[in-house]
Structure 1
């Protein structure tokens, strides 16, 4: 439940955080590559506290570039991407789209997201004409609290005097509400390999089904590695931890709007070799399975005494940082 109005620690965040999403999904055509014939687009990157481009942003922009080259009746139904290099939030990104196939029912595109001549994300996506066929789905979990009964990120972190906490609270385009105990600043001692969040944009999004699917890809990258951290009793602020997405796959099953509440149900079947795998299912509020997701991430966690001491000291500091100023 909301704890009331929380004052921002900064005043330079957008009035409507979803404007960030609108701006990054609005790509600019940049002509054609003279050597390859690929269609080129450029995209905007908002300021980011860590200096790295959010992976969900690059995926969503790559999808928007591909969408621009496909007949409007065909909807995205799958995407497979590899994160090859970290993106620099201070540099422009160019998206090069290669047409792999345009068949009677399906179209396929390859997109390379490029900075300074190097690929940071390589993605293939497929589109399909609307068609009827067999239909079944895994059921939505029951007994889940309504999103309105849960605190928002700004309710929980908005008072913290830390740039990342402030960015998560006021600059994320999506309202993310954890069903399970959040692990941003404190671990979950239950050590279960699951996670569940409600999510939607803060304001209504105009656009067709493909734009909403690209927006959903953006949000799908937020919390997908949390089942791995939760399973091992680790929070996002563990000193010395290094986390990075390696690849991301997504399948869209049924229409859904990114500006309506969606339940993101996540689990991790395995972690090993400094890598962990997470799976996700995204449901509409009325119980339709709208998308499935899978991601492998690199997770390196120092375990020596020095980092355990730093972890304890940092926990005490963060508790103090979250107190209101007098």
Structure 2
């Protein structure tokens, strides 16, 4: 599927062709001067893995390593290995391949519905509601809109706390909703809060998401990204995704290359 004049949508991103058992291929192709967006390939890898488990088993975590730059104008092939199907959990490994080389390696785990306590220790981050927040554009995301509430780091080069939602209706399929959240989870960086001229965040090295509770991505969710440390040429931050009514839907952690030089996220640079 090549992008048309109307532009691709999040549903186009979350469409895979089944080539053979445990083998899938992306169908959305478009020209992009930047390397393939990591959130796209991660969301598609999770979708491929989810297609190989029982439909009632939903993702509860993923851990991915970005190994090479990809090209949005080329299809990506996803090969799934079925590591284990236990009584409650299913474990999968996925490699995303372009031109015979692995661009992403991911482990994902899925869980059958389980009864038990439901406890959220901390309240959602403080933020004005979307209707009272300033519109802004999240780069690289198809059919997503965003709002910027008051910032915990006012001097950050890009927002570290923002609302986002898909502008196209999404099916109620919880797997697709989790993949939409994964697509969103790689945008922005908590490292944007660090001083602008000390070092430059670079490509993502690894990315992890834990899915705690369901969240619809065609409704507003609040993303909050928190920087923690820089050492050894790597920067690390964590984040949370909460629903509009304050329910913690997911947590994330990401590590990126971090090099001396000006921060490329600073507008005008």
The TM-score range, normalised by the shorter chain, is: 0.7 to 0.9
Hey, what does 1:244 align to over in structure 2?
Answer: 203
Give the counterpart of 1:197 among 151, 157, 162: 162
> Would you say the 8 A contact 1:76–1:127 is kept in 2?
yes
Hey, what does 1:99 align to over in structure 2?
Answer: 82
Task: Report the structure, 1 or 2, having the larger helix content.
Answer: 1
Hey, what does 1:58 align to over in structure 2?
Answer: 41
Please tell me the root mean square deviation across aligned C-alpha atoms, in Å. Answer: 3.0
The 3 A distance-change label for structure 1 pair 147 and 92 is same
Q: Calculate the TM-score normalised by the size of structure 2.
A: 0.88
- Structure 2: which 5+ runs fail to align? none
The alignment of Structure 1 onto Structure 2 pairs a total of residues equal to: 265
Hey, what does 1:31 align to over in structure 2?
Answer: 20
Give the counterpart of 1:76 among 53, 59, 64: 59
The 3 A distance-change label for structure 1 pair 103 and 148 is same
Q: Distance in 2 between matches of 1:145 and 1:213?
A: 25
Hey, what does 2:252 align to over in structure 1?
Answer: 293
What CA deviation, in whole Å up to 9, does each residue of 1:156-204 have, x standing for no partner?
A: xxxxxxxxx9xx38x633212222569xxxxx77469992111110121
What are the within-5 Å matches in structure 2 for residues 216-295 of structure 1?
216-223=181-188, 225=189, 227-233=190-196, 241=200, 243-295=202-254
Instruction: Report deviation, 1:273.
Output: 2.4
Task: Report the structure, 1 or 2, having the larger strand content.
Answer: 2
Q: Calculate the TM-score normalised by the size of structure 1.
A: 0.73
What are the within-5 Å matches in structure 2 for residues 166-185 of structure 1?
168=139, 172-180=142-150
Q: Distance in 2 between matches of 1:212 and 1:132?
A: 21
Which region of structure 1 is more displaced relative to structure 2, 59-68 or 39-48? Answer: 39-48
Q: Distance in 1 between matches of 2:148 and 2:200?
A: 22
> Would you say the 8 A contact 1:180–1:195 is kept in 2?
no
What are the within-5 Å matches in structure 2 for residues 5-44 of structure 1?
12=5, 14=7, 19-32=8-21, 39-44=22-27
- Structure 1: which 5+ runs fail to align? 1-10, 33-38, 155-164, 183-187, 319-326
1:90 aligns with 2:64: no
What CA deviation, in whole Å up to 9, does each residue of 1:177-232 have, x standing for no partner?
A: 222569xxxxx774699921111101211141111001100000011x2x212222
What are the within-5 Å matches in structure 2 for residues 124-135 of structure 1?
124-135=107-118
Instruction: Report deviation, 1:288.
Output: 0.8
The 3 A distance-change label for structure 1 pair 198 and 140 is farther
Any idea what SS the aligned residue of 1:152 has?
A: strand
Q: Distance in 2 between matches of 1:215 and 1:300?
A: 30
